[in-house]
Amino acid sequence: MTTLDLETTKNQARKLLDSRIESVTDLTLARKRVEELREQLADAEREDKKAYVRATKDGWSEDELKKLGLESGGVAKRRSRRSPVDAGTPAGTTGDAL
């Protein structure tokens, strides 16, 4: 039987744990970066919306801005995601006969 050395065993265990801690550290840093970039994107989208509104208030039409390649980013996307309400069905009802 091999003689076990406590310090050698503890050092081997630390090496194994260190590699596991390193992967969790990398994951934590990556998640933090994603969170920061999402916040930056949200800020940039708010600024984009303000700038678009400012341009339209300064007299630019939506068609003119579109011709310049400056479609309304957030505004158009939000509008297109909404599903149209069925004209024959009042809001909040399913349209089923009673």
Cα separation, 87 vs 82, whole angstroms: 14
pLDDT digits (tens, 9 = 90+) for 2-60: 788 999 999 999 999 999 999 999 999 999 999 999 999 999 999 999 999 999 999 99
What is the DSSP code string of 44-68? HHHHHHHHHHHHHHTT--HHHHHHT
Lowest mean pLDDT among 2-11, 58-67, 70-79: 70-79
Position with higher pLDDT, 18 vs 86: 18
- Secondary structure of residue 96 in the 3-state scheme: coil
